[in-house]
């Protein structure tokens, strides 16, 4: 029987996209959802949209429609309860809306290129997963490459039987990259549902407390806040990541070197992913 030595260094990192490597504040899905539901005559608040961020977009739409208040607004606007056919119709509108909005919000998050270069210089493989469909990613992928970010694998929503919090997208990426064991790999995400997927996959998980959906501010607005205000805004986000079982939380991908070092220190101590309490790692900006 073959035995595998306990790993002591990180071999691969799998990143989410919006709010993680691009689109500081994860604004594109909010813009697109507001537009599409508005075209249907149904008001949806930003908070409701952000509640389900990280899910595949069809699952995201269904989750929103399943909220009693939004379901009641749909019934009032349409004269009947929503159906799967209505979801199909919304998705027809959402695909181009997401593609357009994602194309607008396609700038890499500050520090993303440097982090990508750091990982490659250390021989750490880089892949990615996303709640966006392949169509929604059409403009983002080449734009990211032009800016210096080009992960070797991209797994999109709809390319596995289930999306997050199931681990299938992460597993698919690891299989395509030929990487194992999962306990030597990291999943980095701005949404708790992505952290849950990483835990289910058996990977080390890192939540992003400042750059993503939880705070929801663009980079200029976020960095203009005082240290105390940033900490206040991130506190409930860190709590959500803690509840989801994240191993570590950092402010943004610019601080990933801290998380890689912390994971490798934990590995040397013989720790396993998900075995310890969530730890927040403060970078220079914090």
Question: Phi first, then psi: what are they for 268, rounded to 5°?
Answer: -60, -35
Q: Is 57 a catalytic residue?
A: yes
Which residues partner with 15 through β-bridges? 128, 188
Rounded to whole angstroms, the Cα distance separating 29 from 46 reads 10
Q: Is 16 a catalytic residue?
A: yes
No. of helices (H) and no. of strands (E), the chain: 12, 7
DSSP state of 90: H
DSSP state of 27: -
**Which one of 57, 189, 255, 257 is the catalytic residue?**
57
Q: Is the distance from CB of 198 to CB of 167 less than 8 angstroms? A: yes
- Residue 36: which residues within 8 A CB-CB, separation 6 or more? 90, 93, 94, 97
Helix (H) or strand (E) holding 240: helix 227-244
So which residues are the catalytic ones? 16, 57
């Amino acid at each position: 029987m073959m035995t595998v030595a306990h790993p002591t260094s990180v071999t691969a990192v799998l990143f989410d996209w919006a709010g993680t490597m691009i689109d500081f504040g994860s604004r594109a899905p909010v813009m697109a959802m507001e537009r599409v539901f508005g075209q249907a005559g149904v008001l949806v608040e930003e908070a409701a949209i952000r509640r389900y961020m990280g899910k595949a977009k069809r699952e995201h739409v269904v989750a929103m429609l399943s909220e009693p208040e939004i379901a009641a607004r749909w019934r009032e606007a349409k004269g009947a309860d929503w159906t799967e056919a209505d979801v199909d119709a919304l998705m027809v509108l959402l695909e181009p809306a997401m593609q357009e909005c994602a194309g607008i919000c396609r700038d890499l998050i500050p520090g993303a290129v440097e982090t990508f270069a750091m990982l490659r210089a250390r021989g750490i493989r880089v892949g990615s997963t996303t709640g966006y469909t392949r169509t929604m990613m059409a403009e983002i992928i080449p734009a990211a490459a032009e800016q210096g970010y080009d992960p070797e694998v991209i797994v999109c929503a709809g390319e596995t039987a289930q999306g997050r919090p199931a681990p299938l997208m992460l597993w698919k990426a690891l299989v395509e990259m030929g990487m194992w064991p999962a306990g030597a790999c990291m999943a980095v995400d701005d949404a708790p549902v992505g952290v849950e997927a990483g835990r289910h996959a058996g990977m080390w998980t890192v939540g992003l407390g400042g750059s993503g959906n939880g705070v929801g501010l663009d980079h200029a607005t976020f960095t203009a806040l005082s240290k105390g205000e940033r900490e206040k805004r991130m506190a409930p986000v860190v709590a959500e990541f803690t509840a989801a079982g994240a191993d570590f939380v950092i402010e943004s991908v610019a601080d990933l070197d801290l998380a890689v070092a912390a994971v490798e220190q934990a590995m040397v101590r013989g720790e396993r992913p998900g075995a310890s309490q969530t730890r927040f790692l403060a970078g220079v900006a914090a």
